[in-house]
């Protein structure tokens, strides 16, 4: 095992840990200042942490937790198995893809929420903030992509060394040899 592959395996574990931790932090929050009081909605991927709006705004958690934990577990298992079975390293690519897909869908869901809330006609402005969980999930997806590539350890291209008895064929300028096509080519003179 080379240092690059070992570093990739360590980064796989780090990315998986970040992806799992991201599901337990705040994904997003919506707040509004109303009459000197702040109404706030906070959500992780699993449940609602705080909901001062009640049923006025139908807000729900952005559900990316199952996919993020699934991708992280695939990465952890593949990195652990890769020490004994090198073919298992492909699993880190699969897990990184799932983690990146979870991050993409979570960001898309948050952008959709921002668009929906901008269409709501309220007399006070709503403020939507990306939470630490969403940011950590994006970082975990980036680390997962880098770590999965480092974990693969693609074979280096080997350039063959030239042998001392190499034959170099050179065509003589007087057309006395057969050209490289294998047969003489007849060139007709141009008629003007």
| Per-residue pLDDT, 138 | 92
116 backbone dihedrals φ, ψ, rounded to 5°: -65, -40
| Per-residue pLDDT, 170 | 60
pLDDT tens string 103-138: 999 899 888 888 887 777 777 778 888 889 889 999
Q: Which one-letter DSSP state was computed for residue 95?
A: H
CA distance 14 to 88: 18
Closest CA to 12 of 85, 84, 97: 97
Which residues make Cβ contacts (< 8 Å) with residue 162, sequence separation at least 6?
none
Report CA torsion sign: 115, 116, 119, 125.
negative
Closest CA to 77 of 2, 155, 151, 153: 151
pLDDT tens string 6-49: 888 888 899 999 999 998 988 888 888 877 888 888 888 888 87
Which residues make Cβ contacts (< 8 Å) with residue 114, sequence separation at least 6?
128
User: Is 78 exposed, middle or buried (CB count within 10 Å of its CB: 0-12, 13-18, 19+)?
Assistant: buried
Strand partners, 31: 40, 127
Q: Tokens 């709006």 label which residue?
A: 53
What structural domains does the chain harbor? 3-152 (1.20.140.150)
pTM given for the model: 0.72
Q: Tokens 């992806």 label which residue?
A: 19
CA distance 110 to 129: 9
């Amino acid at each position: 095992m080379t240092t690059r592959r070992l570093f990739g395996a360590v980064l796989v574990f780090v990315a998986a840990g970040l992806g799992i931790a991201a599901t337990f932090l705040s994904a997003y929050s919506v707040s509004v200042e109303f009459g000197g009081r702040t109404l706030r909605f906070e959500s992780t991927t699993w449940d609602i942490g705080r909901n001062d709006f009640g049923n006025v705004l139908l807000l729900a958690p952005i559900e990316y937790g199952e996919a993020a934990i699934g991708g992280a577990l695939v990465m952890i298992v593949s990195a652990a198995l890769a020490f004994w079975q090198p073919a298992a390293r492909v699993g880190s690519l699969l897990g990184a893809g799932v983690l990146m897909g979870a991050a993409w869908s979570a960001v898309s869901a948050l952008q959709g929420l921002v668009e929906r809330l901008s269409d709501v006609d309220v007399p006070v402005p709503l403020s939507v903030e990306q939470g630490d969980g969403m940011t950590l999930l994006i970082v975990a997806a980036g680390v997962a992509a880098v770590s999965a590539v480092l974990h693969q350890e693609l074979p280096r291209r080997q350039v063959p060394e030239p042998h001392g008895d190499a034959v170099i064929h050179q065509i003589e300028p007087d057309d006395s040899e057969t050209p490289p096509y294998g047969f003489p080519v007849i060139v007709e003179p141009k008629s003007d």
